[in-house]
Structure 1
Amino acid sequence: MSDESWAANSVVRRSMQSNRSRDTKPELVLRRALHARGLRYRVCTKPLPDLRMKADIVFRPARVAVEIKGCFWHGCPQHYRRPAANSAYWSAKVARNIARDEKNAEALANAGWLLIAVWEHDDSTATAAMISDAVHKRRYSS
């Protein structure tokens, strides 16, 4: 392992690299709940072609994008705890993630999209109901 690695050691590096970027358990649970409500959507796709962001769930006709945020990676106000090892790196990394999330939300809003950001710990049934309401309002309001 190089001296410039972000990981504290090779075991940590291997563990962090194995984290999934899509089809995580919170995503699958929410997608099942949305599907059960009769909603159809795109998974892990760009809402805007020129935006360097893939939303977890996209409803193109309604222009609604859903992002399911992990508590560690996106700095959840309730659950995020700074790691003891390599904390300077991880604090900066999470701060960059938060700044990128804000930039993406602004770009989507400017393009007429609604970005719904939910946390991995949010109740999937309540979240699915809220997303379903938003999609139906945007789809049938015109």
Structure 2
Amino acid sequence: MAVFVDGCFWHACPEHCVLPKANREWWEWKFDSNRQRDADTDARLRDLGWRVLRLWEHESPASMCEEVERALAVEL
């Protein structure tokens, strides 16, 4: 299993990311590029047989651990 903890700003968390006002078009492109890269990474890993789990940095460590445990339990 590949577990990623995505930063709210760089990965455009729908709850916490605020698009900067300066250079707005560039930031829109950057966030879109990051989302596309993440999707490509996920697809490549899945093609290699990996299970991919993405979590947000704003989640508590305890809840992240529980989510990983649940995901691992499904595979057993």
- TM-score, normalization by structure 1: 0.49
1:105 counterpart (30, 42, 48): 42
> Using the alignment, how far apart are the partners of 1:133 and 1:86 within structure 2?
41
> Using the alignment, how far apart are the partners of 1:84 and 1:70 within structure 2?
19
2:51 counterpart (110, 114, 130): 114
In the TM superposition, residue 136 of structure 1 has moved relative to its aligned partner by 4.8
* Residue 77 of structure 1: aligned partner: 14
* Residue 31 of structure 2: aligned partner: 94
Cα deviation, 1:33-67, whole Å, max 9, x if unaligned, reads: xxxxxxxxxxxxxxxxxxxxxxxxxxxxxxx0111
Aligned residues: percent identity? Answer: 33
In the TM superposition, residue 91 of structure 1 has moved relative to its aligned partner by 1.1
Matched residue count: 76
In the TM superposition, residue 137 of structure 1 has moved relative to its aligned partner by 4.5
In the TM superposition, residue 90 of structure 1 has moved relative to its aligned partner by 1.2
Larger radius of gyration: 1
Q: What residue ranges of structure 1 are gaps of 5+ in the alignment? A: 1-63
Q: Which amino acid aligns with 1:113?
A: W
Q: What residue ranges of structure 2 are gaps of 5+ in the alignment? A: none
In the TM superposition, residue 75 of structure 1 has moved relative to its aligned partner by 0.9
In the TM superposition, residue 80 of structure 1 has moved relative to its aligned partner by 1.4
Q: Which amino acid aligns with 2:19?
A: R
* Residue 125 of structure 1: aligned partner: 62
Q: Which amino acid aligns with 1:108?
A: L
RMSD: 1.4
Aligned partner of residue 53 in structure 2, secondary structure: strand
Q: RCO higher in 1 or 2 (8 Å CA, sep ≥ 6)?
A: 2
